[in-house]
C-alpha cells in the first residue's frame, strides 16, 4: 500500500493534472467577480456587480424556482421510492436479488441522450404534454439508481440480527423499520438525497429533451450562452458550483459520521 | 387446567428441512416451568434452528410449537411471549443502555413510571445499576451480554431463549457469566432454554440437558444422568469425551456381561436387556489408570500427553483397538509417562458401561 519512493515525475504529472482540472474552475469563479464585462485576462478588479445583476434578474429568479420545483420533488420521491426499493432488495430472496438489482442499476449506464430521447418518445406516445412534471419524472428515473446504490450499501451493512432482536422484543415489522432500521441509516439516506438533489439541479441533457416552455438554471445558462457572454454566466455557474459543493460536503460528512459510528460499534463488539 | 398448560413450552414432532437436508427430525420436548434446559450438540446439529423456531424467526416444515397450551407455530416473533439473548451483541447502537432495556416495554406501551422502575430492576438484576446512560460501545463484551439479558428479562417472558450467549467471551468472563446466569435463573425463577456446543457449560448450568445430533434428540436427562449413563455412543463421546470402544458380548446374565476386548475377556455391568453380540464399551477417561511394568493388564504405548494443571491427558495406543485410549490421570503420583513409554492400561470395570451396537 505505502509507496516508499516518491518519484518527482509522478508528482509533476499529478500537479499538472490537478491544474488542468481546477484551473478552469478557478478562472470561472474569479471572473464572476470581475468589475468589467470582459472574460479574459488582464483581470481589472473585483466587484459584486454581476452578482447584483443576476440576483436582480427575473429570468434568473424564475429559473432558480423552476430548478427547485424540479429538484425538490424529484429528490423527495427518490428518497421514498429508493429507500423502499433498497429495503425490498435487501430482504428479497437471494435468487431474485441479483437480477433485480441489475435492472434497478442498469439506468446508470444509459447515456443521458438516450434517456432523453426515449423519454420524449414515451411521453408523446402516451400523450403526456411536456412540462415540469415530465422533467420531475425524467429526473426521478435519472437519479434513482444513484440513490439506490448508496441506500442499498447502507442497508446491506446493517446487522439483520438487530432487526430480529427488535422483532423478538415485540416490535411489528413497521416499528422495527421505524425504531431500529431507520435511526441507523438515516444519515446515509439524507446524504444520498442531497446527491440526488445536486444531480437533478445540475442536469442538462435529459431536461433539455423533456422540458416544455420552462427553463431550469442549466438551461438558462445554455440559452444565455447563445446570446451574450458576460460575467453573469460565471456568476450563475459559480452559484451552481457552490450549491453542488455544499450538498456533496453534507453528503460526505453524513456518510463519514455513520461510517465512524459503525466502525466504533464494530470494534467494541469484537 | 389442561394437560398441555402444564408446560410453558412444548415441541411436538418439530421437523425442519433446508432443501434436502433435514436439520431437525421429529423433535418432541416438554419444558417444565422454571427449568433451565440446555440444547447441547455440535455445530450443525440443529440446536440453533430449533431455538429460532421457538422464537418464531423460522417456521418448521412439520410439527408444532406450543407455548402455555397455545399453538404458536404460525405466530410471528413479535407476537410471541418469548425473548432471546443472541450469540453476538444485538444492542441497538443508536440507543443507550436504558433505552435498550426499555425497548420492549415501550413497544408494549407500559406506563412511564412502571417502565422506569422495571428497567432499573432489570439492570440491578444483572448488576449494572447506573449504566443506563451508557452507549453500547462503552461496554465490555460481558457487560453487553448482561444488558442483552436485562433487555430480554425485563419483558417477563414465558420462556427466555439463550443462543450461545457466552461463546464470544473470554474464558474468565465466561466463567463469571455462568455463575451470573445461574444466579439470575434462581432469582427470577424463569424458564430458560439455553443453546450451547460446550458440554462443560451445559453440565455446569443445566437442570436438564437435551443432547442433539443431526437433528435428532440423542438423549435428554439431568447433567448427572447424561454424564454417568450416556444413552448413545454420540452422547458418551460428546459429553465427557468418553472412550467408546467396539466390543463383542460373549454372554450376558444377571446384569453382568462378559465381553471380549483386544483379545481378552472382561466382566462388566450391563442392562438386563443386553444379549450376546456387538456392543459399545463406554469408559470415561478419568476412570482409566496407567501403570508401568508388565502383568496381566492390557498394554499400550503413550502417543501423546498434555498437562492440564490438575493432571495429564494421555492418548495410549493399544494393539487390537482401532482408536487410542484416552486417559485423564491426576498429577502428583510420580513422574508422568513420556511419549513412547510402554504402560499397562487398567480401570475399575464396574465404572464402565455397555451400549448396543448395530451389526
Is residue A45 in some structural domain?
A: no
Q: Closest Cα partner for B196 from B207, B206, B185, B186?
A: B206
Contacts with B226 (C-beta within 8 Å, 6 or more apart), sequence order:
B203, B209, B211, B219, B235, B239
Predicted TM-score (pTM) of the model is: 0.78
pLDDT band at residue B344 using 50, 70 and 90 as cut-offs: confident
Q: What is the pLDDT of residues B70-120, one digit of tens each?
A: 899 999 999 999 999 998 889 998 899 999 999 999 999 999 999 999 999
- Span A125-148, average pLDDT: 84
Q: How many contacts does A have with B, using Cβ atoms within 8 A?
A: 73
Nearest CA in chain A to B102: A169
Burial group, residue A20, by CB count within 10 angstroms (0-12, 13-18, 19+): exposed
Comparison of pLDDT for A43 and A68, the residue scoring more: A68
Q: Does A80 touch chain B (CB under 8 A)?
A: no
Cell matching residue B272: 438386563
Q: How confident is the model at residue B168, as a pLDDT?
A: 84
Most confidently predicted of A124-133, A208-217, B197-206:
B197-206
Q: How confident is the model at residue A4, as a pLDDT?
A: 63
Q: How confident is the model at residue B295, as a pLDDT?
A: 66
pLDDT band at residue B1 using 50, 70 and 90 as cut-offs: very low
| Contact call for A170 and B78, based on CB within 8 A | yes
Cell matching residue A65: 424556482
Q: What is the pLDDT of residues B61-78, one digit of tens each?
A: 999 999 988 899 999 999
Q: What is the pLDDT of residues A143-183, one digit of tens each?
A: 999 899 888 888 888 888 899 999 999 999 999 999 998 88
pLDDT above 90 coverage of chain B, percent: 40
Q: Could you give the CA distance from residue B298 to residue B140 in angstroms, rounded to a whole number?
A: 52
Is residue A177 in some structural domain?
A: yes
Q: What is the pLDDT of residues A13-54, one digit of tens each?
A: 999 999 888 888 888 888 777 777 666 677 777 777 778 777
Contact at 8 Å (CB) between B193 and B220?
A: no
Q: Could you give the CA distance from residue B214 to residue B234 in angstroms, rounded to a whole number?
A: 11
List, in sequence order, every residue forming a beta bridge with B335; answer none if it has no partner.
none
Q: Which residues of A are less than 8 Å from B83 in CB distance?
A: 168-169
DSSP summary character for residue A140: H
Rg over alpha carbons for chain B, rounded to the nearest Å, is 24
Is residue A3 in some structural domain?
A: no
CB atoms within 10 A of CB B158: 17
| Contact call for B94 and A183, based on CB within 8 A | yes
DSSP B199-250: HHHHHHH-SEEEEEETTEEEEEE-HHHHHHS-SSHHHHHHTT--EEEEEEEE
Cell matching residue A247: 450538498
- Span A242-265, average pLDDT: 78
Contact at 8 Å (CB) between A66 and A215?
A: yes
- Span B288-301, average pLDDT: 80
Is residue A230 in some structural domain?
A: yes
Q: How confident is the model at residue A80, as a pLDDT?
A: 92
pLDDT band at residue A1 using 50, 70 and 90 as cut-offs: very low
Q: How confident is the model at residue B265, as a pLDDT?
A: 85
Q: How confident is the model at residue A265, as a pLDDT?
A: 61
Contact at 8 Å (CB) between B227 and B244?
A: no
Q: Rounded to 5 degrees, what are φ and ψ at A44?
A: -110, 25
Q: Rounded to 5 degrees, what are φ and ψ at B8?
A: -65, -30
Q: Could you give the CA distance from residue A32 to residue A50 in angstroms, rounded to a whole number?
A: 7
Q: Could you give the CA distance from residue A210 to residue B343 in angstroms, rounded to a whole number?
A: 93
Q: Does A1 touch chain B (CB under 8 A)?
A: no
| Contact call for A166 and B103, based on CB within 8 A | yes
| Mutation target vs A (from B82, B87, B93; most A CBs, 10 A cutoff) | B93
Q: What is the pLDDT of residues B265-278, one digit of tens each?
A: 888 888 878 788 88
Is residue A22 in some structural domain?
A: no
Most confidently predicted of A112-116, A152-156, A230-234, B111-115:
B111-115
Q: Could you give the CA distance from residue A215 to residue A196 in angstroms, rounded to a whole number?
A: 19
- Span B12-26, average pLDDT: 89
List, in sequence order, every residue forming a beta bridge with A102; answer none if it has no partner.
none
Q: Closest Cα partner for A208 from A149, A138, A263?
A: A138
Domain span at residue A76 reads 56-269
Helix segments in B245-335, DSSP class H: none
The angle subtended at Cα A146 by Cα A178 and Cα A88, nearest 5°, is 40
CA distance B76 to chain A (A): 9
List the CATH number of the domain containing A132.
1.10.3720.10
Is residue A31 in some structural domain?
A: no
Q: Does A184 touch chain B (CB under 8 A)?
A: yes
Averaged confidence pLDDT in chain A: 83
Q: Is A263 helix (H, G, I), strand (E, B) or coil?
A: helix
Burial group, residue B258, by CB count within 10 angstroms (0-12, 13-18, 19+): middle
* ipTM of the complex in this document: 0.81
Q: Does A162 touch chain B (CB under 8 A)?
A: yes
Q: What total number of domains does chain A contain?
A: 1
Measure CB to CB from residue B137 to each of A168, A171, A265 and give the nearest one: A265
DSSP summary character for residue A46: B
pLDDT at A113 over 80: yes
Comparison of pLDDT for A210 and B6, the residue scoring more: A210
- Span A129-148, average pLDDT: 85
Cell matching residue A250: 453534507
| Contact call for B92 and A162, based on CB within 8 A | yes
Q: How confident is the model at residue B98, as a pLDDT?
A: 94
Q: How confident is the model at residue A260, as a pLDDT?
A: 74
Is residue A35 in some structural domain?
A: no
Number of H helices, E strands in chain B: 8, 20
Nearest CA in chain A to B144: A269
Is residue A102 in some structural domain?
A: yes
List, in sequence order, every residue forming a beta bridge with B289; answer none if it has no partner.
B346
Q: How distant is the alpha carbon of residue B35 from its chain centre? A: 14
Averaged confidence pLDDT in chain B: 88
Q: What is the pLDDT of residues B185-242, one digit of tens each?
A: 998 888 999 999 999 899 999 999 999 999 899 999 999 999 888 888 999 988 888 9
Q: How confident is the model at residue A270, as a pLDDT?
A: 44
| Contact call for A169 and B107, based on CB within 8 A | yes
Contact at 8 Å (CB) between B140 and B109?
A: no
Q: Rounded to 5 degrees, what are φ and ψ at A187?
A: -60, -40
Contact at 8 Å (CB) between B188 and B111?
A: no
Would strands B191-196 and B159-163 be described as parallel, antiparallel, or unpaired? parallel
Amino acid at each position: 500500500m505505502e509507496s516508499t519512493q516518491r518519484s518527482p515525475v509522478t508528482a509533476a504529472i499529478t500537479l499538472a493534472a490537478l491544474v488542468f482540472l481546477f484551473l478552469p474552475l478557478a478562472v470561472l469563479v474569479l471572473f464572476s467577480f470581475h468589475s468589467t464585462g470582459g472574460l479574459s485576462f488582464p483581470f481589472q478588479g473585483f466587484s459584486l456587480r454581476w452578482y447584483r445583476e443576476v440576483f436582480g434578474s427575473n429570468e434568473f429568479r424564475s429559473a432558480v424556482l423552476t430548478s427547485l420545483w424540479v429538484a425538490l420533488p424529484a429528490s423527495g420521491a427518490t428518497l421514498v421510492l429508493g429507500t423502499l426499493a433498497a429495503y425490498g432488495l435487501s430482504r428479497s430472496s437471494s435468487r431474485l436479488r441479483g437480477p433485480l438489482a441489475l435492472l434497478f442499476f442498469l439506468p446508470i449506464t444509459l447515456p443521458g441522450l438516450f434517456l432523453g430521447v426515449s423519454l420524449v418518445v414515451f411521453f408523446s406516445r402516451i400523450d403526456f404534454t411536456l412540462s415540469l412534471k415530465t422533467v420531475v419524472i425524467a429526473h426521478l428515473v435519472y437519479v434513482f439508481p444513484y440513490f439506490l446504490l448508496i441506500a442499498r450499501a447502507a442497508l446491506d451493512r446493517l446487522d439483520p440480527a438487530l432487526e430480529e432482536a427488535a422483532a423478538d422484543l415485540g416490535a411489528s415489522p413497521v416499528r422495527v423499520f421505524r425504531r431500529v432500521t431507520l435511526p441507523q441509516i438515516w444519515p446515509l439516506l439524507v446524504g444520498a438525497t442531497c446527491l440526488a438533489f445536486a444531480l437533478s439541479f445540475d442536469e442538462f441533457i435529459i431536461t433539455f429533451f423533456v422540458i416544455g416552455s420552462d427553463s431550469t438554471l442549466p438551461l438558462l445558462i445554455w440559452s444565455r450562452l447563445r446570446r451574450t457572454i458576460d460575467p453573469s454566466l460565471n456568476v450563475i455557474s459559480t452559484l451552481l458550483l457552490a450549491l453542488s459543493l455544499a450538498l456533496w460536503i453534507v453528503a460526505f460528512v453524513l456518510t463519514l459520521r455513520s461510517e465512524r459510528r459503525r466502525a466504533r460499534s464494530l470494534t467494541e463488539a469484537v | 387446567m389442561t394437560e398441555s398448560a402444564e408446560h410453558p413450552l412444548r415441541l411436538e414432532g418439530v421437523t425442519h428441512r433446508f432443501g434436502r437436508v433435514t436439520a431437525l427430525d421429529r423433535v418432541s420436548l416438554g419444558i417444565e416451568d422454571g427449568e433451565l434446559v440446555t440444547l447441547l450438540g455440535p455445530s450443525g446439529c440443529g440446536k440453533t434452528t430449533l431455538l429460532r423456531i421457538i422464537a418464531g424467526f423460522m417456521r418448521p416444515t412439520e410439527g408444532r410449537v406450543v407455548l402455555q397450551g397455545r399453538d404458536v407455530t404460525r405466530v410471528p416473533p413479535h407476537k410471541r411471549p418469548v425473548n432471546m439473548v443472541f450469540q453476538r451483541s444485538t444492542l441497538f447502537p443508536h440507543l443507550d443502555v436504558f433505552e435498550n432495556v426499555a425497548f420492549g416495554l415501550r413497544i408494549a406501551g407500559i406506563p412511564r413510571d412502571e417502565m422506569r422502575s422495571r428497567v432499573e430492576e432489570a439492570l440491578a438484576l444483572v448488576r449494572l445499576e447506573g449504566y443506563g446512560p451508557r452507549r453500547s460501545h462503552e461496554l465490555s463484551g460481558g457487560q453487553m451480554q448482561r444488558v442483552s439479558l436485562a433487555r430480554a428479562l425485563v419483558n417477563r417472558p414465558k420462556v427466555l431463549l439463550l443462543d450461545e450467549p457466552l461463546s464470544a467471551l473470554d474464558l474468565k468472563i465466561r466463567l463469571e457469566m455462568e455463575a451470573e446466569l445461574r444466579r439470575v435463573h434462581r432469582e427470577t425463577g424463569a424458564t430458560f432454554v439455553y443453546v450451547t456446543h460446550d458440554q462443560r457449560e451445559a453440565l455446569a448450568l443445566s437442570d436438564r440437558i437435551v443432547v442433539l445430533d443431526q437433528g435428532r434428540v440423542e438423549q435428554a436427562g439431568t447433567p448427572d444422568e447424561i454424564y454417568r449413563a450416556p444413552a448413545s455412543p454420540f452422547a458418551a463421546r460428546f459429553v465427557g469425551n468418553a472412550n467408546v470402544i467396539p466390543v463383542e458380548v460373549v454372554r450376558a446374565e444377571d446384569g453382568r456381561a462378559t465381553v471380549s476386548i483386544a483379545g481378552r475377556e472382561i466382566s462388566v455391568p450391563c442392562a438386563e436387556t443386553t444379549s450376546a453380540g456387538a456392543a459399545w464399551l463406554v469408559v470415561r477417561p478419568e476412570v482409566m489408570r496407567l501403570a508401568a511394568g508388565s502383568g496381566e493388564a492390557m498394554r499400550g504405548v503413550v502417543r501423546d500427553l498434555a498437562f492440564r494443571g490438575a493432571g495429564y491427558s494421555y492418548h495410549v495406543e493399544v494393539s487390537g483397538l482401532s482408536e487410542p485410549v484416552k486417559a485423564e490421570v491426576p498429577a502428583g503420583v510420580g513422574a508422568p509417562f513420556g511419549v513412547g513409554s510402554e504402560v499397562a492400561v487398567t480401570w475399575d470395570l464396574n465404572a464402565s458401561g455397555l451400549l448396543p451396537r448395530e451389526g
